[in-house]
Amino acid sequence: MLDLRHIRREPELVRAGLLKKGDAAELDRLLALDAGYREALHELEAGRAARNSASRAIAELLREERTAEAETRKREVRALGERLAALEREVEAGRGEIETLLLGLPNLPHESVPVGADVASNRVERSWGTGGGRPAHARPHWEIGPELGLVDFERGAKVAGSGFLVFRDLGARLERALISFMIEHHRRAGFVEVSTPFLANRRTMLGTGQLPKLEADMYHLESEDLFLIPTAEVPVTGLHQDEILDEAELPIRYVSYSPCFRREAGAAGRDTRGMIRVHQFDKVELVKIVRPEASYDELESLVARAESVLQALELPYRVVLLATGDMSFASAKTYDLEVWAPGVERWLEVSSCSNFEDFQARRSNMRFRRREGDVALVHTLNGSGLALPRTLIGILENGLGPDGSVTLPAALRPYLDGLERIEPPGVRG
């Protein structure tokens, strides 16, 4: 959530930032509501002071037995009380409207983010490995996976509908091996592993910026007002909502595995074949809670951490700095890591690393006490380290050999009893 005081002080600066994200239509309404709210609040406070003064005057008149004057003042106080009651309702309604509008405003982009309306303005920062080509034997994962007995699309759809998968045999083992490898990889770098609920309440979803903007994309348990989490970012960041941390505790770095649930209501009809866009998938998430002064250095190191997983898995990838029009609602700056998938001839996002600055912290009331004693909002960051099953797509399509077998990255083999290749069923010994 944006700082209302900053909006009051620098409305045109805020307007320019919102326009870069695509829309500043609600800003004028917010400023008008805020002006009316502050005027009503000032009148309310002045009226309360006048009522207190009048009450003391009535008591004095009664002590002096000036009953008629006291009764006149009482009538005046009753009329003032009715006005104050109306003002209290007006102030409360104004406060609620302002809160609603603030919750609907996106974060402002960092000055280093390229300005553009969509993906066409994204900027490739660097690449690793040989990506962009297509070997003669390349095939899409939706052919490779079923032929090797790794993925069952039909039975997943039978159980839960389109967009749900069943991994079986070596496919299930490979998925589990990837999760274990990634968690250990990040844990060895100092990230603390946490396992959280896969459901989150409305307060936690609001805190990370999923609500109200993205509610249509969420699976909601209406009877309990709980949401299936779209990413472990939500519960992991929410661990410290309404807390004041000590500066000595920062930075906090967490790694967490979770399934992720997304209705993808805004993406209907897109990438419906294979595993590119599904309603449930596994992900290893990285979350950082840091001092504001360190957050952009922490962002760069977060990207490097996600890159290290792709390098260990020997997958060609590129790092893309997102333009203002392609960033998420809550982000101030985002890098996407995209793996090359030769079978579908596309770059596929497997990690999105973002700095939210104090946007989530303000919504979550997450602060820290500096050594000098003053209290400030923390900055929060998160990134996928990595998301499945697109990482699995990269392994299948890049590891495919002319004979139909898939060579596995060396880093995964210890998690698969030393298995080096997945061979077609007729070839397996």
Task: Give the residue numbers marked as catalytic.
Answer: 262, 277, 349, 352, 390
Q: What are the tokens at 41?
A: 């609040």
DSSP state of 409: P
Task: Name which of 332, 301, 323, 276 is nearest 141 in CA terms.
Answer: 276
Q: Measure CA of the first residue to CA of the last residue in the chain; give whole Å.
A: 58
The phi, psi pair for 16, rounded to 5°, reads -65, -40
The sign of the CA dihedral 312, 314, 315, 316 is: positive
Q: In 10 A of CB 64, how many CB atoms?
A: 10
| 280, 159 Cβ separation under 8 angstroms | no
The phi, psi pair for 242, rounded to 5°, reads 60, 30
**Whole-number Cα distances in Å, 414 to 73, 151, 418:** 87, 22, 5
Helix/strand/coil for 149: coil
Whether omega for the bond prior to residue 109 falls within 30 degrees of 0, making it cis, is: no
Task: Name which of 153, 126, 411 is nearest 272 in CA terms.
Answer: 153
* 246 burial via Cβ count (<10 Å: 0-12, 13-18, 19+): exposed
Helix/strand/coil for 198: coil
Whether omega for the bond prior to residue 2 falls within 30 degrees of 0, making it cis, is: no
The phi, psi pair for 367, rounded to 5°, reads -130, 175
Residue 184 to residue 166: CA distance in whole angstroms: 25
The alpha helices in 151-294, defined as continuous H runs, are 153-160, 170-187, 202-207, 233-238
